[in-house]
Chains A and B, each alone.
Chain A
Amino acid sequence: MVLKIENITKRFGAFTAVNDLSLTIPEKEMFGFLGANGAGKTTTFRMILGLMDSSEGEISWNGKPINYSTSRYIGYLPEERGLYPKLKVKEQIVYLARLRGMEKGEAQQELEKWLERFKVPEYANKKVEELSKGNQQKIQFIAAVLHKPQLLILDEPFSGLDPVNVELLKEAVLDLKKNGSTIVFSSHRMEHVEEMCEHLCIMHKGSPVVHGSLRGIKKSFGKKNVVIHADFPLDFLKEFPGVIKYKMTAEGIHLQITGEEIASNILKEIVPNGFIRKFALEEPSLNDIFIEKVGASYE
């Protein structure tokens, strides 16, 4: 059950939305897509789902193309949330699940379980337009996962949710993964991808700038962060060889350096100066990598 994307390119007239993207997403993996608005994430998802054809390249799921005959096994949470505003939750979830090939009775049972899990069983007979945005999103999520898809595509699943509900949904996503679903998701928030995905891909203007395993990406990035909390002035480190970035924080400074050896140089340099409350060498955050690669802050 491997999702294989081979050299896909999508052009809209003169505009290239996705340029030569190749990815292999192993079974039961969680794969993260990062990228600024317009980077080509949604277009990639639409091509994976077969809603759009690629201009070039092939996409296959378990060796076969994805089309309406495989829709039973695929779940999709679109970025633009959409449900029938006038229909009751139960009516439309069961309808959408049946369109995915689920039996009516089974869909009803599963829906009850999910509503229970999300602590909103009383919404079954409410119209969607009566629900708050966050709760609509829960319903939307249920619509995407009710039929236990083998391949689940989540386009910005956590955007617009409060922290409590983000946790609730994150747990649900992790459970689905445990139960054997392959999950591809894009997120607005670096920490979600960092926390949940083994593999990821950063897209920029249609091209993949970084992709691979999270650990591998961090390793090959090379640069590290150093956090120093000390009672003496540290501004001389601004000019220290190997220091790329220098940032004052409330308790000390935050540095980005070119490699591990610079950290030991710094430590040697500052130890004689006085008492050091904290000295830490840290892995670069995904945010650092993103900013570096994409050249601008994402948020």
Chain B
Amino acid sequence: MNKFWIILAHTYMSKVKSKSFIITTVVTLLIIIGMSNLSKVMDYFNKGEASDEIAVVDESGTLYSPLKEQVESVNEEITLTKFPGNEKAAKEAIRDGEYDGLLLIRLNSTGLPEATYQAMTIADTTTANEIKNSLQQIKTQLAATQMELSTEELAKLYEPVDFQQIALEKNAKTEEELNQARGLVYVLLFVIYFSVILYANMIAMEVATEKSSRVMEILISSVSPIKQMFAKILGIGLLSMTQMAVLLGVGYVSIKQNLDSMQGGFFSFFGFGDIPLATIVYAVVFFILGYFLYATLAAFLGSLVSRIEDIQQMITPMTMLIVAGFMIAMFGLGQPETPFITISSYIPFFAPMLMFMRVGMLSLPIWEPILAIAILIVTIILLAIFGARVYRGGVLMYGRSNSFKDIKKALQLTKNEKNKL
């Protein structure tokens, strides 16, 4: 077997079998399954919880029944009970835990309702808001009656305005499609962002570990550093594919199965109902390119440090680039057509996330993503050539190495050795 494949297989196998890999994968899987079953989980916990009992002291004498009816029709988990005593006695009852809250209602001078809500804590705003909304409706009705408005007139007043957005471009996405795309792109951006950071870090760590444990000197006396670097990048790349395939596969099945319970909720907003194939393909392509771009960068940065402790310092600028790309992409989700986003999406270090975001959100002519992909590939090749030279010298350098001057030093060490590449 070629030495390249031996290293690749070794990198892949030793990582796949490692405890940390298995644990991260399992934990992430659990989170994915948990998220996709979120509504079931929430239902399960809500069932056990008793409803909120609110004591009502009604000074008007007329508001209690309509309010109770209104509140309980909206939310079954709130029960209003008329409190027989005065305010002071009611407060006592709350302190004793008989009720969860106290509502004082009365009519003000203009004959409209006003209320005070008291509870031990007011951290839970849901209950108070529900009651407030119900009371608001009653107030509206009372006010309408005072103004002698008919029910029809009232309905007219509250009817929402008819407002539609229509895109004129032929392939432009409809508003609904855009919302869906935004959700999907948002999730996939996160996936790209996290995985690129994670795996690029893994590469840098791997190289730094070999260097700091000094096994590097044996390795480079057997196999050329260039071969090692690329075998390692590909090995970890395969590892990332394995992890992604497992996560996406399980996630897909789990979401499909729970689709009914999610209809109309959080997930349909995120566009999981019907996933457009093109978006997924672009996500995979840009993920792979992004991975190679940053993995190459990480590998040669990793080759410059001699102690593992220095690795974070060395790759922080790279992490910053990824974070910057992600931030711009997040900002761009709301306005993907601004010139700033368009231009940034051709900058190699931002392209994986930004061009993917644009391609997912807009209907771009095909040459745009292809141009970005081409730019990325060229950058990766340039970076690989440059990185390989730094790597060759870098792996032999020991001592304090915290600065980017070391890149120059490493290049000098490699000089005159190009013919060996």
Contact = CB atoms under 8 A, between A and B. Distances in A.
Given A53-B417, A98-B6, A143 B218 contact: yes
B215 A84 contact: yes
A6 B3 CA distance: 31
Given A95-B6, A99-B6, A99-B7, A82 B222 contact: no
Contacts of A78: 214, 217-218, 221
Interface string B1-16: 1010011001000100
Given A87-B14, A99-B6, A80 B217 contact: yes
B390 to A, nearest CB: 16
A82 B10 contact: no
Interface in A69-92: 71, 74, 76, 78, 80-85, 87, 91-92
A87 B15 CA distance: 11
Nearest to A75: B221
A93 B53 CA distance: 71
A100 interface: yes
Interface in B1-50: 1, 3, 6-7, 10, 14
B221 A49 contact: yes
B223 interface: yes
Nearest to B417: A53
Contacts of B215: 82-84, 92
A49 B222 CA distance: 9
Contacts of A85: 213
A46 B398 CA distance: 14
Interface residues of B, number: 26
B416 interface: yes
A167 B32 CA distance: 59
A81 B10 CA distance: 21
A42 to B, nearest CB: 10
A84 B207 CA distance: 12
Contacts of A95: 6, 10
A82 B417 contact: no
Contact of B214 (A49, A51, A82): A82
A92 B213 CA distance: 13
Interface string B135-159: 0000000000000000000000000
Given A51-B396, A52-B396, A99 B214 contact: no
Interface residues of A, number: 29
A176 interface: no
B360 to A, nearest CB: 40
B178 to A, nearest CB: 49
Contact of A99 (B216, B219, B413): B219
Nearest to A143: B218
A46 B219 CA distance: 13
Contacts, number: 65
B124 to A, nearest CB: 49
A96 interface: yes
Contacts of B10: 95
B224 A68 contact: yes
Interface string B393-413: 000101000000000000001
B231 to A, nearest CB: 10
B220 interface: yes
B224 A82 contact: no
B11 to A, nearest CB: 10
Interface string A94-126: 011011110000000000000000000000000
A159 to B, nearest CB: 14
B170 interface: no
A67 B210 CA distance: 21
A128 to B, nearest CB: 9
Given A78-B218, A82-B214, A85-B213, A99 B420 contact: no
B218 A68 contact: no
B6 A76 contact: no
Nearest to B13: A91
A99 to B, nearest CB: 4
B406 to A, nearest CB: 14
A268 B366 CA distance: 105
Contacts of A49: 221
A144 B215 CA distance: 12
B223 A99 contact: yes
Given A51-B396, A99-B3, A99-B6, A71 B214 contact: no
B412 to A, nearest CB: 8
A76 B416 contact: no
Nearest to A140: B218
Nearest to A128: B213
Given A80-B214, A83-B213, A83-B215, A67 B221 contact: no
Contact of B416 (A51, A53, A87): A53
A81 B221 contact: no
B420 A71 contact: no
12 contacts: A50-B221, A67-B420, A76-B218, A78-B214, A78-B217, A80-B214, A80-B398, A82-B215, A84-B210, A98-B3, A99-B222, A99-B223
Given A46-B396, A99-B222, 8 more contacts: A51-B396, A68-B222, A78-B214, A80-B217, A84-B213, A84-B215, A96-B219, A99-B6
Closest 7 CB pairs of A and B: A82-B214, A82-B215, A99-B222, A78-B217, A80-B214, A76-B221, A49-B221
